[in-house]
Amino acid sequence: MSYTPTGKHLIAGEWIVGTSTFASQPATGPAHDFSVGTEAHVDAAAEAAEAAFWSYGYSTRAERAAFLNAIADEIEARADAITEIGTQETGLPEARLQGERGRTTGQLRLFVEHILKGDYLDRRHDPALPDRQPLPRPDLRMIQRPIGPVAVFGASNFPLAFSTAGGDTAAALAAGCPVVVKGHSAHPGTGEIIAEAIDAAIKSQGVHPGVFSLIQGGNRAVGSRLVQHPLIKAVGFTGSLAGGRALFDLCAARPEPIPFFGELGSVNPMFLLPEATEARGTEIGTAWTGSLTMGAGQFCTNPGIAVVLEDLAGPFIEAASAALAGAAPQTMLTDGIAEAYRSGQTRVQAQTGVREILTSSCQGRTATPYLYQTDADTWLANEVLGEEVFGPLGLIVTVRDMDQMQEVARSLAGQLTVTLHMDDGDVGAAQDLLPIAERKAGRILANGFPTGVEVADSMVHGGPYPASTNFGATSVGTLSIRRFLRPVCYQNMPATMIEDF
């Protein structure tokens, strides 16, 4: 099933043409022209979202569940066309797009189950105590309520699961919040076909058309206007540290500041503890390279840093180098990402005290792996080495002893993940590292690799800054719905007036 995009924006149920266009830059297949978003498009979408909130924000959980299921059904009905346009635009293999589509519909259906159970409402009730002395207590009920229209920015590296109908959109819609999506120019056709699916679900379920709008990219002013629009009440963002921080600052500078839930970057360090390194150093080194190069290293959970005792590092380094030497070139998501990867590699290589273990040559939109090694003293003296390189580049940091390993851990900025490779005899050392890891990351792994984020109730995909801009939130899993809710207390309110919420 072939798909040819129209190049239009979807705003409140209408497909809108802009006055100027930009051309997509697919990895394979034909390029297409897309309308450039404008500030006027933002205004129209935000106003429609506010109008929709007065019905959608007060709809029943069953009604919202039916809507989310309908979106998932419409996405699955377009499965082959989504895979075709997605692979053309991003260069990702078909199996990856098919899996990501399943994750996208799975997220929607998981939120169906979650809101129908009602636990997310966190209902609390303190009954009235009319005879309490010296003063009576009124009847108090608390419940979580949706905050209003939400802006969502599509991610470059996940055209489905973190974009148009991805986790942020699913969580906001489940909460009762209309959504305005700023599409990513790396995959505008994929964004459009998903928007078509959502539009079809809106029509089949009789939902207010302002509940969802897609404004295509091509103009940075659109993003700025979106986060500053007075009707937008929160922002979900996955992207670069520089871009996310700029938008975060705009949200904070508004006359009415709003929360900016940004996932910005992480090097996801691994710590190899002594017994595990002695027993399994070669195995860990080989397995690490599979995680490091997965998807051309274009995952926010890519484990770019490995910290290991220098006396035990040899087999680990040899295994990692050998495995990476056989890695084939991979297509990156955009020309810009490929150029940023080359710039990051040059930056690392230029640092004093960094030794090249494996080098390669990247051309055009392809990426090949690099591997470097440095010592802890160099790492601790050079903040540049802790900056994310988005791609298959690994840096091994060797330490003298466990005290210096802890020092390296303490030096880290906020991370999405920290991994401890450990055997039974490493429990004491791991217990010493664990409090530091808890201060640094939102997810801590034992004997695994962080690429691959399970969509589940217990998942935390976030962490201290700069991993994310709000350390108390997650962008994956059912807890992510709490970003788009706020508690409301009802005093002496008849229960029948709030029980259906």
In sequence order, which residues have a C-beta less than 8 Å from that of residue 448 and are 6 or more positions away? 419
Q: What is the distance, to the nearest Å, from the Cα of residue 254 to the centroid of all Cα atoms in its chain?
A: 24
Catalytic residue check, 100: no
Tell me if residue 448 falls in helix, strand or coil. Answer: coil
- Say how far apart CA 329 and CA 90 lie, in whole Å: 15
- Say how far apart CA 423 and CA 274 lie, in whole Å: 8
Question: Which one is catalytic: 192, 300, 362, 388?
Answer: 300
- Say how far apart CA 38 and CA 352 lie, in whole Å: 46
Segments in 255-401 forming alpha helices (H): 274-293, 313-325, 335-349, 376-381
Catalytic residue check, 251: no
What pairing do the DSSP bridges indicate for beta strands 370-375 and 393-399? Answer: parallel
Residue closest to 184 by CA, chosen among 156, 165, 162, 212: 156
Residue 77 tokens, joined: 């009905």
- Say how far apart CA 132 and CA 137 lie, in whole Å: 7
Question: Which one is catalytic: 263, 310, 438, 454?
Answer: 263
* Rounded to 5°, angle at Cα 272 from 269 and 274: 160
Measured N-to-C along each axis, helices 188-205 and 61-77 cross at an angle, to the nearest 10 degrees, of 130
- Say how far apart CA 82 and CA 243 lie, in whole Å: 27
Secondary structure (DSSP) of 135-197: S-B--EEEEEEE-S-EEEE--SS-TTTTSTTSHHHHHHHHHT--EEEE--TTSHHHHHHHHHH
Catalytic residue list: 263, 300
